[in-house]
Structure 1
Amino acid sequence: MENYTYNSFTLQLEGLNVSEESIYPVFLVFFFSYLFVMIANVGIACLIFIDKSLHHPMYLLFCNLTFNDILGNSFLVPRLLLDMLRPPSQRLISYYECVVQAFTTHMFGAASHTVLMIMTFDRYVAICNPLRYSAIMTNKMVIGLTVSAWGVAFVLVGILLGLTIRLNRCRTVIESLYCNNASLFKLSCENVFINNVYGLTFTVVLLTASIGSMVLTYTKITVVCLTSNNKSLNSKALKTCSTHLVVYLIMLISGFIVITLHRFPQYSDYRKYCAILFHIIPGSLNPIIYGVQSAEICKSLSKLSRSKSVLPSF
């Protein structure tokens, strides 16, 4: 007969299954990847904050993406690195820490969609209504879009976790790499039908709104470009929209791989690695893609590097 521990506040993470000879190479790969994510995103955010020439809606909205990448990776990767150096029996986490990690993990996923949606709106206005761009994308509008993106994600994830923490727990092992909603409600011996229904609804609504807004917006942008003889407009649209679309597709494909592998328990180890990459890959590529594609950011970086290379003469 299975032994149950009811409402224990100490949980055990399953973690990664890594062979002894592979622990340190894998550890170093994830460590330097995390380090790069932090340096790249903090650097881009600081550059936008310092350089007043970058105080435009597009870059201010992009700061939401850098903050989300910093937040999502900071609550996952350091804990993962520590657990890799511990034996499985010592990979313990408190229930409250687990709930916080699950909340930030789902906030990262939800905000990735909502933030890219408000960035899509900015690109739509810039290309389809260029003469009214300054009138529409005011500071008030930027703040409103930012609050909406984070507010929607917060409410959706808050309900998701709220339905889970109401459940009594009879198990203590988190069958996952890190804490998330599914791994938390699987600790319960109660009926989790509502959790499954809301979780599915949450995913469908978020993906439908995200993909739908992208398809609708880019369809309108394409129509405008095809009916316009303005080569400058078409070039601008191609450059800015391709950047945004690449970032979105990287995030979407990474998420779909994780969701798909959830349906195949025999590939649980691959799913765990993909779950890490879902955080690290977008966080690493987002600042690179925007930094390389944006002439303003490249110009600002060049100006900053020149100013640092000039030594004071005495």
Structure 2
Amino acid sequence: MVNSTQVSYFALVAYFDTGVFKYFYFMIVMSLYILTVCANVLLIVVICMNRSLHEPMYLFLCSLFVNELYGSTGLFPLLLVQILSKVHTISASFCFLQIFCVHCYGSVQYFTLAVMSYDRYLAICYPLQYNTRMTSSKVAILTVFVWLYSVLTTVVIMSLSVPLQLCGNTIQKVYCDNYSIVKLACSDTTVNNIYGIVYMFTVIFALLILILYTYIKILKVCFSGSKQTRQKAVSTCTPHLASLLNFSFGAFFEIVQSRFNMSSLPIMLRIFLSLYWLTCQPLFTPVLYGLNMSKIRIICKSLAFGKMM
């Protein structure tokens, strides 16, 4: 029986020999990372530098873009190194650091999308009371709560996983995640499992109910209001809903793949599904909002022509 503090490294065995194609994969992943960083940084700068965008919806978006920079940086650098490396190992300290980044990213993403749905609910269902209900101080409190709560819950996860006694150091993935470490444990993981179940029911399901409730209310307003009201509601909610569905799709497949035997699927498909929510979402979201939100689109066009608003 080996204590986790004595494990100096973990082997990421989902990687396979791609020969000369590894440089091709490296260029694809590098291009994806550069596009992700540029897209998110651009929109963060646009929102911060233009006072006309200092509204609750855009400030929540800014928090979302910061989180996507953080999450992608927790994955891409290691992924790029591993693609070119012949030995696919990661030190124990970096593995746990990546676990912290990945879990915190997922939590912040989900909470922020929930807060944004609540913001749209107030704006569309209570337009006359919106400014009094969604004040700047409330925006700040919600944003701080999302990040602080996500960090604290992730710290609890780490405090339960790091002391586990491990009987191996082989992870069946291309990056580190908490469930893979728990599966390696030969000590009691009852507390880990209980915490995971409690977290799932009290947080994930609670947020899902909140999000579904807000969009049901929004849809009722859309169908009962004027054509102009419906168009405005659809135009503002479409990117939020698309981003939520895209993230949920990727996270769902990652959860299923982690907990069930998916060896019948081709290895490339398994790797793609496990990486989707960490690679495609951070690029999908800024592109989606940049194209669909007229204020951001107009300012980005003005910046492209050298005119700062």
- State the TM-score, normalizing by the size of structure 1: 0.90
CA contact (8 A) 1:5 1:171 kept: no
Alpha-carbon distance, 1:304 to partner: 1.7
- Equivalent residue for 1:64? 63
Matches within 5 A, 1:77-226: 77-88=76-87, 91-226=88-223
Contact 1:73 1:279 in 2 (8 A): yes
Give 1:245 shift.
Answer: 0.3
Match in the other structure for 1:33:
32
Q: Secondary structure at the match of 2:7?
A: coil
Q: Could you tell me how far 1:39 is from its partner in structure 2?
A: 0.5
Change (3 A) 1:183 1:31: same
Q: How far apart, in 1, do the equivalents of 2:185 and 2:125 lie?
A: 51
1:273-294, CA deviations, whole angstroms, 9 ceiling, x for partnerless residues? 2222211111111011111111
Which residue in 2 is equivalent to 1:47?
A: 46
Partner of 1:249: 245
Q: Is the 8 A contact 1:123 1:241 kept in 2?
A: yes
- Local SS of the residue matching 1:63: helix
Size of the aligned set, in residue pairs, is 304
Contact 2:2–2:165 (CA under 8 A) maintained in structure 1 = no
**Deviation at 1:172?**
2.6
**Kept after mapping to 2: 8 A contact 1:261/1:268:** no
The 8 Å contact of residues 15 and 84 in structure 1, kept in 2 or not, is answered as no
RMSD value, Cα:
2.1
AA of the residue aligned to 2:240: H
SS of 2:90's partner is strand
| 3-state DSSP of counterpart to 2:166 | coil
Contact 2:25–2:83, Cα closer than 8 Å, also in 1: no
1:161-184 residue CA offsets vs partner (Å, 9 max, x unmatched) = 211112233423333211111122
What stretches of structure 1 of length at least 5 have no aligned partner? 310-314
Q: Deviations over 1:46-75 (max 9, x none)?
A: 111111111111000001111111111101
Distance in 2 separating the partners of 1:98 and 1:184? 10
Instruction: Answer yes or no: is the 8 Å Cα contact 1:4–1:170 preserved in 2.
Output: yes
The separation in 2 between residues aligned to 1:261 and 1:150, in whole angstroms, is 27
Cα pair 1:258 1:271 within 8 Å, conserved: no
Q: Distance in 1 between matches of 2:8 and 2:113?
A: 37
In 2, distance between residues paired with 1:306 and 1:174?
49
Whichever residue aligns with residue 83 of structure 1, its letter is: Q
Distance verdict in 2 for CA 1:18–1:49, change over 3 Å: farther
Partner of 2:232: 236
Q: Offset of 1:110 from its aligned partner?
A: 1.3
State the Cα deviation string for residues 257-309 of structure 1 (Å, max 9, x = none): 22222312414833332222211111111011111111100111122223359
